[in-house]
Structure 1
Amino acid sequence: MAPVWVAQLATGAKSFRDNPLIGSPALNRRGLHERRMRLAHDLAWRRRARLAGLVSAEDRAAFDRDGFVMRRNFLPDDAFRQLRDAVFAYEAPAREMIQGDTITRRIAVDPQALAAVPELKRFLANPEWRGINRYVGSFDQEPLTYVQTILSHVRETAPDPQTDLHADTFHPTVKAWLFLTDVAEDEGPFVYVAGSHRLTPGRLAWERETSVMASESANRLLARGSFRAGREEIARMGYGAPKAFAVPANTLVAADTVGFHARGLSARPTVRVEIWTYGRRNPFLPWTGLDAGSIPGVAERRIPWMWRARDLMEKAGLGGQPWHDVGRLRPADPPGLQPG
């Protein structure tokens, strides 16, 4: 396995527990994790410079400063209502995952969805939506796209671990939302620490310190490379207070999730529906395009292929499948999973 572990250093591999080189306390004391992080960020900003023409000067300045773009009233009112109503009426194969007291449902935006919901196909062709996703993610690629539903307080247990402030990985990556429902401040809003997509001396020192102990951490998500931080730690890194995105429906948010973010706590059972995208590539590529996964005919089929592959791996005993097949559902339907 040693050649594989070495090769993974030049990829987005992030697990401190699964790769003994990435997780080596000795190598990380010498700056392995910090150097990978610095290089990945430098390359991302170089790629963004070549993609700058895809976004407005205002959106570019907001992202460069804050790490996110937020646009209220993103679509014209009539276009948004048509999109929302069509998406809410669409029944399709759905997958659900339960974490803590929260169920996340995802419906793939695949060829069947695009044929059944032409309003969705038109939205995904919107040049502003496409440009913001690409600039924030630093790659000219098609992100994975879902209709996502967050169902909170489905059972009495510890909160969803996504409510802890965390960075998804060590390198820039994009997640974007078009909220189809209003999101109140006490109903699980997206939370982000403005400016935390940029590396400060305090952040780099904290990353080095955390990387040394990560492989032995009792926190499974931290050990797998999604570092968690408390508010006092974030302040010591030189960042400000987290911002909760309490926003009306028809708001776009696109964020670099190397910045610290979380799902806010919900005071009551809620149902949040959104169009959600996620884009990540090898962070050490110098070019912006040349992505086989973005080829038409391939891009819209990746999610069903991934789900089937994980199902087969689980049957073969080669790994778990956290996304459970719950049959055909609409986005706002009650949970398909029965919370234990």
Structure 2
Amino acid sequence: MEQRRSQSWWRAPLWTLALATGAKSFVDNPVLGSRRLNELGLHARRLKLAHGLAARRRRALAAAVPAHWRERFDHDGFVRIDEVVPPADFAALQQRLATTRLPMRAHLQGDTVTARVPLDDGSLRQLPEIAALLRRRDLRALFAYVATTRTPPLHYLQTILGGAVAASQADPQIELHADCFHPSLKAWLFLADVPDDGRPLTYVAGSHRLTPERLAWEGHRSQTVLDDGDRLSQRGSLRVRPDELPALGLPAPTRLAVPANTLVVADMFGFHARADSDRPTTRVELWSYSRRPPFLSDLAERALGLGPLGSRRAGLAMRAADWLDARHLRRQHWHPIGDQLPAAPDLGGRDPLSLL
């Protein structure tokens, strides 16, 4: 490790500049991962600055959010909204998902296959109920508040096939973790029932707040994470053990086993995970994602996200990853599996292990 870093000394200015971005990997950036600098408070200072800026942005966005949603989010870090789509429209949407084939990509992690359709103007024309939902002002205001940005999230149709293969490694998403060091958004509109043994989303209520206990825990982890062999934590998605939660003043995770047509919107600085199950499971959902650069000015961030390409970002991001992969610059993990029914993708007849 040290030899590899010493041979890349010329990258030092880039590693330093990354402090002003959303860069989070301790293992890939020797400045972010420096035990000495983190003992002096580097990681803690980035946390406090990022959360302070996010709080200021949320204050500016708060008035547009329905009060009961805002209060619930502020308390728990997530909001659950039942029957978010009118029942007749939701029935039509479920029928559409069972009969409309869309071009899907898939990826295998552990024993779980995730298949996705990036939603853009073209795919949303085939899914008018989802298009109408995403135009709702109250939901757009809630997304903006949680994500701390008016830039709309990226949206995908997503099907999760849990226990799809016999794997030597478990699905890493079943470990409680925070996605990154600053607030960000993920949202799930569950398009089919999620039973308690159906690998439901779990979330530790209140863990989105940067309390003194959480700040101390983060500071300690930043100093020791390169020693513990946990690759995903080393890359900045810190894992937490359930037995650590009481010392952080946090409760046990809430299991969001919910009926179809339930929307959950959450801050991904909060600890969350996909629950495990002892049987194969399928989750079908509209999945939304937003991770705003934490230190970028509002004007610059809006210019990047709200231009004419804004509604096409999900598809463009996938095609950009294809371009990089074709030139051996960065591996594309999302493999095309052909036109599939989102409610029941069959992986195009592929061996799931080929999706690694």
Q: Specify whether residues 293 and 271 from structure 1 end up closer, same or farther in structure 2 by C-alpha distance, changes over 3 A only.
A: farther
Distance 2:40 2:100 in 1: 53
Matched to 1:45, the amino acid is A
> Could you tell me which residue of structure 1 aligns to residue 112 of structure 2?
102
Matches within 5 A, 1:281-320: 281-285=292-296, 287=298, 290-295=301-306, 297-320=308-331
Q: Is the 8 A contact 2:200 2:274 kept in 1?
A: yes
1:194 corresponds to 2:205 = yes
Distance 2:85 2:321 in 1: 35
> Could you tell me which residue of structure 1 aligns to residue 133 of structure 2?
123
Mean alpha-carbon deviation: is it higher for 223-232 or for 151-160? 151-160
* Shift of residue 267, structure 1, vs aligned partner: 2.8
* Shift of residue 285, structure 1, vs aligned partner: 3.4
> Could you tell me which residue of structure 2 aligns to residue 174 of structure 1?
185
Matched to 1:238, the amino acid is G
TM-score, scaled relative to structure 1: 0.95
1:227 to 228, 235, 238: 238
Question: Structure 2: any 5+ residue segments left out of the alignment?
Answer: 1-10
* Shift of residue 159, structure 1, vs aligned partner: 2.5
Q: Is the 8 A contact 1:44 1:138 kept in 2?
A: yes
Distance 1:282 1:109 in 2: 22
Matched to 1:15, the amino acid is S
Q: Specify whether residues 229 and 290 from structure 1 end up closer, same or farther in structure 2 by C-alpha distance, changes over 3 A only.
A: closer
Matched to 1:275, the amino acid is L
> Could you tell me which residue of structure 1 aligns to residue 88 of structure 2?
78
Distance 1:262 1:289 in 2: 32
Q: Is the 8 A contact 1:179 1:275 kept in 2?
A: yes
Q: Is the 8 A contact 2:191 2:261 kept in 1?
A: yes
Q: Deviations over 1:188-230 (max 9, x none)?
A: 0000000000022221111111111223442221111000010
* Shift of residue 251, structure 1, vs aligned partner: 0.5
Q: Is the 8 A contact 1:200 1:238 kept in 2?
A: no
Distance 2:243 2:81 in 1: 29
> Could you tell me which residue of structure 2 aligns to residue 237 of structure 1?
248
Q: Specify whether residues 199 and 275 from structure 1 end up closer, same or farther in structure 2 by C-alpha distance, changes over 3 A only.
A: same
> Could you tell me which residue of structure 2 aligns to residue 57 of structure 1?
67
* Shift of residue 69, structure 1, vs aligned partner: 0.6
Q: Is the 8 A contact 1:139 1:289 kept in 2?
A: no
> Could you tell me which residue of structure 2 aligns to residue 335 of structure 1?
347
Q: Deviations over 1:228-251 (max 9, x none)?
A: 010111221111111100100011
Q: Which structure features the higher share of helix residues? A: 2
Q: Is the 8 A contact 1:24 1:215 kept in 2?
A: no
Matched to 2:56, the amino acid is R
Distance 1:306 1:77 in 2: 33
1:42 corresponds to 2:52 = yes
Matched to 1:29, the amino acid is E
Question: Structure 1: any 5+ residue segments left out of the alignment?
Answer: none
What secondary structure does 1:291 align onto?
A: helix
Distance 1:296 1:274 in 2: 27
1:139 to 149, 166, 190: 149
Q: Is the 8 A contact 2:148 2:292 kept in 1?
A: no
> Could you tell me which residue of structure 1 aligns to residue 218 of structure 2?
207
* Shift of residue 296, structure 1, vs aligned partner: 5.6
> Could you tell me which residue of structure 2 aligns to residue 153 of structure 1?
163
> Could you tell me which residue of structure 2 aligns to residue 29 of structure 1?
39
> Could you tell me which residue of structure 2 aligns to residue 14 of structure 1?
24
What secondary structure does 2:236 align onto?
A: coil
Mean alpha-carbon deviation: is it higher for 288-297 or for 74-83? 288-297
What secondary structure does 1:9 align onto?
A: helix
> Could you tell me which residue of structure 1 aligns to residue 264 of structure 2?
253
Q: Is the 8 A contact 2:151 2:306 kept in 1?
A: no
Matched to 2:321, the amino acid is R
Q: Is the 8 A contact 2:113 2:161 kept in 1?
A: yes
Percent identity between the two aligned chains: 46
Distance 2:352 2:125 in 1: 33
Matched to 1:161, the amino acid is P
Q: Specify whether residues 283 and 290 from structure 1 end up closer, same or farther in structure 2 by C-alpha distance, changes over 3 A only.
A: closer
What secondary structure does 2:223 align onto?
A: helix
Distance 1:115 1:74 in 2: 20
Distance 2:220 2:72 in 1: 30
